[in-house]
A and B are shown apart, each in its own frame.
Chain A
Amino acid sequence: MQNPRETTLAIASQTPRRVAESLPPMNKRRKGISPGWWFISPWLFGFVFLTALPFLASLYLSFCQYDVISPPRWIGLSNYENLFLHDPLFWKSIWNTFVYAVFALPLGTVAGITLALLLSLDLRGMSVYRTIFFLPSIVPLVATSLLWVWILNPQIGLINNLLEMVGISGPPWLVSPVWSKPALILMSIWGVGGSMIIYLAGIKDIPTFLHEAALVDGANTWQRTWHITLPMLTPVIFFNLVMGMIGAFQYFTQAFIMTAGGPQESTNFYCLYLFQRAFLYLNVGYSSAMAWILFVIVLVVTTALMKTHTKWVHYEGN
């Protein structure tokens, strides 16, 4: 019997053509199902039956009247027509989601970068601070939401009590249609630890020679941050922006638990309304249409962001 090590060395020393010749013929290898397929089969099963098929089925259902109990009945574009022309709640939910995304995304980006910059400083015990700031982002959303219901309570909540200490009468937050969205936007900073860690990794990845060269040229901290750190961080900012935008359009849990869409539909976000339509009002076909509209919105916004990224995202190789 040949020593396996000798065989490996012998194959490695052969030319590619000779290696190919030494392998079994293709028709021989294709006999039967490759073990690779067996190994991947659980995932394939999940992907095909639990992702791909429901995905395609939802497209079909969006053109049907469907309530789970009875079979779907084809109604053409009626669901889309109703949504665009006759459903004020649909537009309200789009508006609520849009406002949330417009304010929460930049706020989260600025807060994440600022925190990452501060936590990238070379100070004693920095790993403890990093852990402290990262911890809130791994608290389950349901627990976070319940906690913030207390924090934002107008009468006995932490924020208003702190404001009262400095002589400010706090707003009614979640019970006011004016303040409910700002309250949720404010709360979004709580989970900034997740993006902060990615920014931090990005900052650590910036070559030190760039900062050293700038130092030699007499650049101060602000100039180095503005002209080196931020431009070098733009690929990470871009990634977080795209992911954050998709997350903002899928905003659901906090609104579902904290406000249930109220007061006065001011926190009825797109996914919450979609959920209500599908599972409370049994309009599954209608909500499938909503899901596809959301898909198109996310696709368009992501494409638009991708188009702009050549103008402001700097890659190390460029």
Chain B
Amino acid sequence: MKVTKINIKLFLKCLLGIALINGFIILLIDPAARVERKYPDREKVVFWHMWTGEWKKVIDRIVDEFNENQNKYEVSSLSLANGDMKFLLSTAGGDPPDVMAQWNCVIPAWAKRKALMPLDSLMSDEDKKAFEETYPVIQKICHFEGKNYGICVGLNIYALFYRPSHFEEVGLDPNKTPKTISELNEMSEKLYKVAPDGKIQRVGIYPNHIQQWIPSFGPGMYDYDSKQMTIVTPNNLRCLEWMQSFPKKYGVKNLTFFESSFQNGYSGTLDWPFITGGYSFMVDGQWRIEQLAKYAPDLDYRICPLPAADEDGRPNACLCNGNFLLIPSSAKCPEGAWAFMRYWSGIANPDNAAKYYTWGGWMPISPAVTNAAVFQEYLTKYPQWKTFVDLLPSENLQVWPPVVYQNFLLDRIATFSSVLTSMSKSPKETLEGLRDMVTQEEERIKRGQP
């Protein structure tokens, strides 16, 4: 009897012990390690990105081409949701990917915390020369405190989409696009359709995002010489005054109700208000061209650059953002990561990389990529792209201010855009409110230093 009793105890202990050990092993094993490798003799380069669905297929094709066209590295890609937090945790745990694609405002915050590797040390002289030949905005977007931390392989540029049929309907010439804000005002006024009870049926233009229009009015919200935010300036004030003239004229409630009738707002695809005819003018990015070709192939539309302010305005301007490739500072194979980045971006071979830009519908990073035969063919297929491509060399393309609190700034600008368009505050008060918020955050950061 005694022996049986001890055996049961031992059995239970062993069982639980094994269960716990197994649990830990399952937790500790890297799931990626279990993926069968096609080129086990090569150096592994772990690549994290956040694309899914059709986009993921494009990324997989690029990765496959890279793996097939050299024999030193094998890129293993992994699509992740909420990649920011996973990246931070993996960095804190000392096991980050070798290369990561990002589209959020993270570079200054991550670079400041030394989580990213400056690319200058990985670039050969040839690479540096090729990078210097990229468009100015490409050189600016991943730049922080004198160093370059990434390559923007998916730049987003914004321009003015418009509906020629609406133009003809109100007696405007569709071939004559607005060059200045006052010209845009005149056209927009004719294009607005307002019912007798004040309800809006069609909008000409409705500028409701501060960051979208600031570049057309002046140097923007950041001074690169003094490295200071410049929020309350005459140019910015003129921009906000112009923006607020719309709710003043058409009524906050009418515009709010009109906008809310588009459930997915400006981000919708099939129900994008431009397709449904709700807007005659709309600011949006180059990716809309392929969407329109796919979902509204018969829609007649044209694109022109954002008009410049009449006083001290900037032509061919907009705020750009994009998808960029980054290398964590503790990457195990930064050389392999850089090899992959220069291959994809076209720093290595622009003629070959041009096709990747057409696969993803991304803006080319350099004139060399733009001039490649494949990309020129793409421009013939989608002639609307020309407006965006012509904007690329512009010095007036702006990027988010390179400050460590970029995400905070982005959220506050959204808040103050709403404050402005709901007429809760005057343009001057709005800018001052935003400036105060930014100043408080800067001081908070300074005070928080040990």
Q: For chain B, give the interface size range.
A: 35 or more
The answer, yes or no, to whether B34 is at the interface (CB within 8 Å) is no
Contact assessment for B447 and A82 in the assembled complex, using a CB-CB cutoff below 8 Å: yes
The answer, yes or no, to whether A282 is at the interface (CB within 8 Å) is yes
The answer, yes or no, to whether B339 is at the interface (CB within 8 Å) is no
The answer, yes or no, to whether B26 is at the interface (CB within 8 Å) is no
Instruction: Give the complex CA separation of A236 and B257 in angstroms.
Output: 43
Residues of A within 8 A of B444 (CB): 82, 86-87
Contact assessment for B419 and A155 in the assembled complex, using a CB-CB cutoff below 8 Å: no
The answer, yes or no, to whether A150 is at the interface (CB within 8 Å) is yes
The answer, yes or no, to whether A281 is at the interface (CB within 8 Å) is yes
Contact assessment for A35 and B12 in the assembled complex, using a CB-CB cutoff below 8 Å: yes
The answer, yes or no, to whether A194 is at the interface (CB within 8 Å) is no
Using a CB–CB cutoff of 8 Å, the interface residues on chain B facing chain A are: 9, 12-13, 16, 20, 84-85, 88-89, 91-92, 109-110, 113-115, 253, 256-261, 263, 405, 407-408, 411, 414-415, 418-419, 422, 424, 437, 440, 443-444, 447-450
Residues of A within 8 A of B418 (CB): 177, 262-264
Task: Output the least CB separation between B327 and chain A (Å).
Answer: 15
Contact assessment for A281 and B260 in the assembled complex, using a CB-CB cutoff below 8 Å: no
Contact assessment for A264 and B257 in the assembled complex, using a CB-CB cutoff below 8 Å: no
Tell me whether chain B's interface is mostly helix, strand or loop, or mixed: helix
Q: List 25 A-B contacts (CB under 8 A).
A: A38-B16, A39-B16, A41-B16, A41-B20, A67-B113, A68-B89, A68-B92, A69-B115, A70-B114, A75-B450, A82-B447, A86-B443, A153-B261, A155-B258, A175-B260, A177-B424, A262-B415, A262-B418, A263-B415, A264-B422, A265-B415, A280-B407, A281-B405, A282-B113, A283-B448
Contact assessment for A69 and B88 in the assembled complex, using a CB-CB cutoff below 8 Å: yes
A41-B16, A69-B110 as given contacts; A75 in contact with B411, CB under 8 Å: no
Task: Output the least CB separation between B405 and chain A (Å).
Answer: 7
The answer, yes or no, to whether A79 is at the interface (CB within 8 Å) is yes
Tell me which of B9, B253, B257, B258 has the highest count of chain A C-beta atoms within 10 A of its own C-beta. Answer: B257
How many A-B contacts are there with CB distance less than 8 Å?
105
A86-B444, A264-B419, A264-B422 as given contacts; A155 in contact with B257, CB under 8 Å: yes
- Contacts A172-B253, A262-B415, A264-B424 aside, 13 further interface pairs with beta carbons under 8 A come to A35-B13, A39-B16, A41-B16, A68-B92, A69-B91, A82-B448, A87-B444, A155-B258, A155-B261, A175-B260, A263-B418, A281-B405, A282-B109
A42-B20, A280-B407 as given contacts; A75 in contact with B449, CB under 8 Å: yes
Instruction: Give the complex CA separation of A281 and B105 in angstroms.
Output: 10
Tell me which of B91, B253, B411, B424 has the highest count of chain A C-beta atoms within 10 A of its own C-beta. Answer: B411
Contact assessment for B16 and A69 in the assembled complex, using a CB-CB cutoff below 8 Å: no
Question: Within the complex, which residue of B408, B419, B447, B449 is in contact with A281, where a contact is CB–CB below 8 Å?
Answer: B408
A-B CB proximity, top 9 nearest: A155-B261, A73-B450, A263-B418, A69-B113, A68-B88, A154-B260, A38-B16, A69-B115, A280-B407
Using a CB–CB cutoff of 8 Å, the interface residues on chain A facing chain B are: 33, 35, 38-39, 41-42, 45, 65, 67-70, 73-75, 78-79, 81-82, 86-88, 149-150, 153-156, 172, 175-177, 261-265, 276, 279-283, 285-286
Residues of B within 8 A of A74 (CB): 450
Residues of B within 8 A of A286 (CB): 448
Contact assessment for B263 and A79 in the assembled complex, using a CB-CB cutoff below 8 Å: no
Instruction: Give the complex CA separation of A217 and B357 in angstroms.
Output: 86
Residues of A within 8 A of B110 (CB): 69
Contact assessment for A154 and B256 in the assembled complex, using a CB-CB cutoff below 8 Å: yes
Task: Output the least CB separation between B81 and chain A (Å).
Answer: 14
Task: Output the least CB separation between A167 and chain B (Å).
Answer: 14
Task: Output the least CB separation between B91 and chain A (Å).
Answer: 5
Contact assessment for B88 and A282 in the assembled complex, using a CB-CB cutoff below 8 Å: yes
Residues of A within 8 A of B16 (CB): 38-39, 41
Contact assessment for A156 and B448 in the assembled complex, using a CB-CB cutoff below 8 Å: no
Tell me which of B263, B415, B419, B440 has the highest count of chain A C-beta atoms within 10 A of its own C-beta. Answer: B415
Residues of B within 8 A of A155 (CB): 257-258, 260-261
Task: Output the least CB separation between B16 and chain A (Å).
Answer: 5
Residue of chain A at shortest CB distance from B448: A65
A70-B113, A82-B447, A286-B448 as given contacts; A172 in contact with B260, CB under 8 Å: yes
Instruction: Give the complex CA separation of A87 and B109 in angstroms.
Output: 20
Instruction: Give the complex CA separation of A88 and B433 in angstroms.
Output: 11
Instruction: Give the complex CA separation of A177 and B114 in angstroms.
Output: 39
Residues of B within 8 A of A154 (CB): 256-257, 260
Residues of A within 8 A of B12 (CB): 35, 38
Instruction: Give the complex CA separation of A279 and B73 in angstroms.
Output: 33
Residues of A within 8 A of B422 (CB): 176-177, 263-264
Residue of chain B at shortest CB distance from A276: B411
Residues of B within 8 A of A39 (CB): 16
Residues of A within 8 A of B447 (CB): 78, 81-82, 86
Residues of A within 8 A of B84 (CB): 279
Question: Within the complex, which residue of B89, B114, B419, B448 is in contact with A75, where a contact is CB–CB below 8 Å?
Answer: B448
Residues of B within 8 A of A69 (CB): 88, 91-92, 110, 113-115
Instruction: Give the complex CA separation of A73 and B114 in angstroms.
Output: 15
Residues of A within 8 A of B443 (CB): 86
Instruction: Give the complex CA separation of A88 and B440 in angstroms.
Output: 9
Residues of A within 8 A of B258 (CB): 155
